[in-house]
Structure 1
Amino acid sequence: MPLGKIINLLKGVFQKLPAESVDSSELPETENYPSRQTTENTDLSQKNVSENTFTESTAETSQTSLPTILEEQKMINVSMLQDELQNFVSAASDVQGAALVSPDGLALASVLPGGMDEERTAAMSASMLSLGERIGRELARGSIDRIVVEGEKGYGVLVGCGADAVLLVLAGAGVKQGLLFLEVKRVVAKIAPLMA
């Protein structure tokens, strides 16, 4: 039987025995052999400690640098989203404003007319979406393509923009609905890839 297995068996037996105080004078005298096994264990434990330290420091470094990269990427996306909305509002006729909102009601980007509160508009948009989806289910109409609010001063159109956002578009009363829906479809096609 190899020496390593014998040592492991003896260690197992001694670990299972209850600890009793033993007087060193009762122990038989043994010759002093150099403890080769102890030095190997020490070397291995030092190696394990240094490997663990390297692994932990590498993990800490990757964890601290990763959110920074993601934050920078999100900042770029937010500015690009803001630019797309700005271009849409300024280029489309009779479009007065637009807001990109998370399903939770947080504004991601917006270009709204003066006097409109961004946070309140975002919260109302999320509520409209939630209510519209519930109405669609209850009336067995399937998934909702768009929600349109028509008033004497114009339209509010709410459309899904991927799984993570909803686009609210505000348009004047003189807008042609077909053209408005076409423009909304085009801007959603531009915005949706930026949300990924």
Structure 2
Amino acid sequence: MSFRSTINQWPSRSSVRGAAVISEDGLLIHDELDPGADREAVASAAVTVRRHAEQLGTAAEGGSLGSVVVELSQGMAVLASLDDRHTLVVLARPDRDLGQLLFDIRSARAVLAAVA
């Protein structure tokens, strides 16, 4: 199953305005971001946020990273660890309930890691 088809099957698909899988080196593996998005900057920032979130988890004895939600004025950004080397970034539309989206991300984590 492809990256695009996996996301298109999510019940929360209407909440997604863009998504990408990024390698630990900040390279875009799969890209379904909006045409106006600065893809390279998104990839670079996602890797940095993931590293800092992992450091927070270690310092707070909170365990390994699952997901990080960042509130932006144009909607939420969700970063999810797919495995040790890949990060999923999902940009949500503003004013959407994130519950179903977070569930879909957790449920698809293994499938997305396999296509990464």
Residues 79-118 of structure 1 mapped to structure 2, 5 A cutoff: 80-85=2-7, 87=8, 92-118=13-39
In 1, Cα distance between equivalents of 2:53 and 2:84? 16
Q: How far 1:180 sits from its partner (Å)?
A: 1.1
Change in 2 beyond 3 A, CA 1:118/1:88: farther
* CA-based RMSD: 2.2
Between Structure 1 and Structure 2, which shows a larger proportion of strand residues? Answer: 2
- Give the unaligned 5+ runs of structure 1: 1-76
Change in 2 beyond 3 A, CA 1:88/1:156: farther
Matched length: 116
In 1, Cα distance between equivalents of 2:23 and 2:78? 15
Aligned partner of residue 14 in structure 2, secondary structure: coil
Change in 2 beyond 3 A, CA 1:88/1:95: farther
1:150 alignment partner in structure 2? 71
In 2, Cα distance between equivalents of 1:123 and 1:188? 21
Q: How far 1:190 sits from its partner (Å)?
A: 2.0
1:46 alignment partner in structure 2? none
Q: How far 1:84 sits from its partner (Å)?
A: 3.7
1:138 aligns with 2:59: yes
1:96 touches 1:172 (CA, 8 Å); kept in 2? Answer: yes
Amino acid at match of 1:153: Q
1:149 touches 1:156 (CA, 8 Å); kept in 2? Answer: yes
In 2, Cα distance between equivalents of 1:88 and 1:150? 25
Aligned partner of residue 155 in structure 1, secondary structure: strand
Which is further off, 119-128 or 186-195?
A: 186-195
In 2, Cα distance between equivalents of 1:88 and 1:128? 27
Q: How far 1:146 sits from its partner (Å)?
A: 0.7
Q: How far 1:127 sits from its partner (Å)?
A: 0.5
Amino acid at match of 2:77: G
1:105 touches 1:123 (CA, 8 Å); kept in 2? Answer: yes
Residues 32-71 of structure 1 mapped to structure 2, 5 A cutoff: none
In 1, Cα distance between equivalents of 2:4 and 2:111? 12
In 1, Cα distance between equivalents of 2:71 and 2:9? 21
Between Structure 1 and Structure 2, which shows a larger proportion of helix residues? Answer: 1
Q: How far 1:149 sits from its partner (Å)?
A: 0.2
Aligned partner of residue 25 in structure 2, secondary structure: coil
Task: Report the identity percentage.
Answer: 29
TM-score, normalisation: structure 1: 0.53
Q: Highest relative contact order (Cα 8 Å, sep 6+), 1 or 2?
A: 2
Change in 2 beyond 3 A, CA 1:182/1:120: same
